[in-house]
Amino acid sequence: MKKRKKSLTENPRRLVAYCGLYCGLCAHRNRIPKRAKLLQETLHEEGMDSWYQYIPSMKDMFPTFWKFLDALVKMNCTCRTGGGPPDCKIRECAKKKGVETCPLCSEYPCTLIENLAEHYVMAIQDGKRLKKIGLKAWVKEQEERTRRGVVYADIRVPWEE
């Protein structure tokens, strides 16, 4: 008998980052792979996946670009599987305290989350909502946002360079 894959509502933690952000709303997971796939398909339809070799300026760089584009199409990271900054202090803290996600911590919102919220303006309010309605109901709300095409990049305050 074939094993049935668990849905997000059966395993709601799968796309919930330790900080309380929802990975499904990340452009790296939701928007970029779709757009990279569309670019890849367009280039293929135009014959660029083989025709590039007749353009001297592209002959050497296109194969590397094509591999990069393919990697973008397949991008599927989450904070729980090694995505995000490798030295994330929030992830380290949540693991140390044994909390599934920061909004479930008794010290929420802490300084680490407040610093994150300077850029992800919905982080604290979303965390309070998660705490109020529970993880499963909150994930359903985030799935609806994802379905509607919302991504954090649309409402994020840019990081200073």
Residue 122 has, within 13 A of its CA and on its CB side, a CA count of: 15
Residue 43 makes CB contacts below 8 A (sequence gap 6+) with 49, 69
Kindly tell me if the per-residue pLDDT of 86 is higher than 50.
yes
Q: If you average pLDDT over residues 26-50, what whole number do you get?
A: 90
pLDDT interval class at 30 (50, 70, 90): confident
pLDDT interval class at 89 (50, 70, 90): very high
Kindly tell me if the per-residue pLDDT of 95 is higher than 50.
yes
Which pLDDT value is given to residue 8? 45
- Please state, for a pLDDT cut of 90, what percent of the chain lies above it: 53
Determine if the peptide bond prior to 158 is cis (ω within 30°).
no
Cα separations in angstroms, 126 against 34, 54, 65, 97: 26, 52, 37, 21
For residue 121, report the phi and psi dihedrals to the nearest 5 degrees: -65, -20
Q: 32, 72 in Cβ contact below 8 A?
A: yes
d(CA 13, CA 125): 18
Kindly tell me if the per-residue pLDDT of 3 is higher than 60.
no
Helix 62-73, helix 32-45: angle, nearest 10:
140
Residue positions counted in the chain: 161
Residues forming beta bridges with residue 16, ordered by sequence position = 22
Which pLDDT value is given to residue 9? 47
Which pLDDT value is given to residue 4? 52
Kindly tell me if the per-residue pLDDT of 1 is higher than 90.
no
Which pLDDT value is given to residue 39? 96
pTM for this model (two decimals)? 0.75
d(CA 129, CA 132): 5
**3-class secondary structure, 16:** strand
Kindly tell me if the per-residue pLDDT of 155 is higher than 90.
no
Higher pLDDT, 124 or 8: 124
Kindly tell me if the per-residue pLDDT of 82 is higher than 80.
no
